[in-house]
Amino acid sequence: MSKQPSAIDDSVHALLETVAQPVNWQLERIVEELRAARAEWRSSTGRIRELGGRELPSRQAVADILAALSGALFPMRLGPSSLREESESFYVGYTLDNALNNLLGQVQLELRYAARQRGEAEKDLEARAVRIVRDFAAALPNLRRLLDSDVIAAYNGDPAARSVDEVLLCYPGILAVIHHRLAHHLYQTGLPLLARISAEIAHSATGIDIHPGAQIGHSFFIDHGTGVVIGETAVIGNHVRIYQAVTLGAKRFDVDESGNLQKGQARHPIVEDDVVIYAGATILGRITIGKGSTIGGNVWLTRSVPPGSSITQANLQNLPGSAR
């Protein structure tokens, strides 16, 4: 005796037929409208260019390069889990060769892009890119030593840290500083776009925003770190420790006669050696925090303070100039 189809069977059959039918997303029209939108943007910004390959560096390529460089700098900690100590130098050499060749391609893209933006001829860019990457490679041993001082500062500055290995593997502040040391070198060699991409990759991962132009001395420690902001022209000395949600920012932005922001001016704080800045402090403008000072939590500071100062919300009103 044959089974009569039920209402449920009919519903399942109808659903399967619906799923099996391809959906028309009207992609041809959408693709054409997106092409038109890109053309409008390029026309309005003066970015008309000949059709060709990629114009700008790749964020994903830069992320891969940074991961490889981090592994080469700290192979037994940030390298592959299968790496053995007897193979350490081979891994470093192999990884650096790949990373530097990939970096060369990204440097060439930025140099070409910058030349086009300035309306300059794209001559000698290949040789210049090679020189930049060669100098970057030569700087890596000193960058490793500088990062060692940062790791030791974090270990010595945090009673919860059980080992320097824990610091290197776990602390977001160390990840941000590794990226910054590499990005700052790129920034100094005239590659602001690659440097900014490198910094923003760390920013996305850690919540710590350090502009690659910031100058930071050795033995630098960011504890916890989330919400830290360090501006482009900030200058930070040696043995400085800062906590989460600290801002080293600009007090104001000067404009020219046309009302456009003036770029490149020194507008962020100078923090001298051996300063501690506690959570939530906001320090604005081209002011100087004197050597050995302590800035308390949630302080808003817009005036320089002399060496050895201890600034809290309670004593803030007594500062010369009545900083708030």
User: Residue 287 sits in a domain of what CATH number?
Assistant: 2.160.10.10
Do 75 and 154 reside in the same domain of the chain?
yes
CA–CA distance, 11 with 184 (Å, rounded to integer)? 63
HSE, CB side, 13 Å, CA atoms: give it for residue 276. Answer: 12
Residue 2 inside a domain? The answer is no
Token pair listed for 295: 């800035």
Do residues 221 and 154 make contact, with C-beta atoms less than 8 angstroms apart? yes
Domain boundary among 181, 208, 235: 208
Question: What is the per-residue pLDDT for 48?
Answer: 55
Full domain range(s) for residue 285: 227-324
- Three-state SS for 31-54 is HHHHHHHHHHHHHHCCCCCCCCCC
Q: Are residues 280 and 316 in the same domain?
A: yes
Total length of the chain = 324
256 belongs to a structural domain: yes
The answer to the question of residue 43 being in a domain is no
Q: Is residue 215 part of a domain?
A: no
- Are residues 291 and 153 located together in one domain of the fold? no
Examine the domain organization and report whether 237 and 285 are in the same domain: yes
Where among 177, 208, 239 does a domain terminate? 208
pTM: 0.86
Contact in structure between 125 and 111 (CB atoms under 8 Å) = yes
How many domains in the chain? Answer: 2
- Give 190-240 pLDDT, tens digit per residue: 999 999 999 999 999 999 999 999 999 999 999 999 999 999 999 999 999
pLDDT tens sequence for the chain (324 residues): 555 556 667 676 666 666 667 788 899 999 999 999 988 988 887 665 554 567 899 999 999 999 999 999 999 999 999 999 999 999 999 999 999 999 999 999 999 999 988 888 878 899 999 999 999 999 999 999 999 999 999 999 999 999 999 999 999 999 999 999 999 999 999 999 999 999 999 999 999 999 999 999 999 999 999 999 999 999 999 999 999 999 999 998 777 777 777 777 899 999 999 999 999 999 999 999 999 999 999 999 999 999 999 999 888 777 765 444
Inside any domain, residue 61 = yes
Question: Is position 9 within any domain?
Answer: no
Answer whether residue 178 is part of any domain: yes
My answer on whether 180 and 270 are in the same domain is no
Establish if 34 belongs to a structural domain.
Answer: no
Tell me, yes or no, whether 146 and 253 share the same domain.
no
Residues 6+ apart with CB under 8 A from 126: 108
Q: Are residues 77 and 204 in the same domain?
A: yes
CATH of the domain at 113: 1.10.3130.10
The reply to whether 80 and 201 lie within a common domain is: yes
Q: Which residues of 12-24 are buried (b: 16+ CB within 10 A; e: fewer)?
A: eeeeeeeeeeeee
> What pLDDT, on a 0 to 100 scale, did the predictor assign at position 323?
46
The 3-state DSSP composition of the chain as helix, strand, coil percent (nearest 5) reads 50, 10, 40
Same domain, 235 and 306: yes
Query: Do 197 and 259 fall within a single domain?
Result: no
**Last-in-domain residue among 208, 237, 253:** 208
298/280 Cα distance (integer angstroms): 4
Clarify whether residues 124 and 176 are in a common domain. Answer: yes
pLDDT in tens, 60-70: 999 999 999 99
Residue 77, Cβ neighbours under 10 Å: how many? Answer: 15
197 & 232 share domain: no
pLDDT for the residue 88: 95
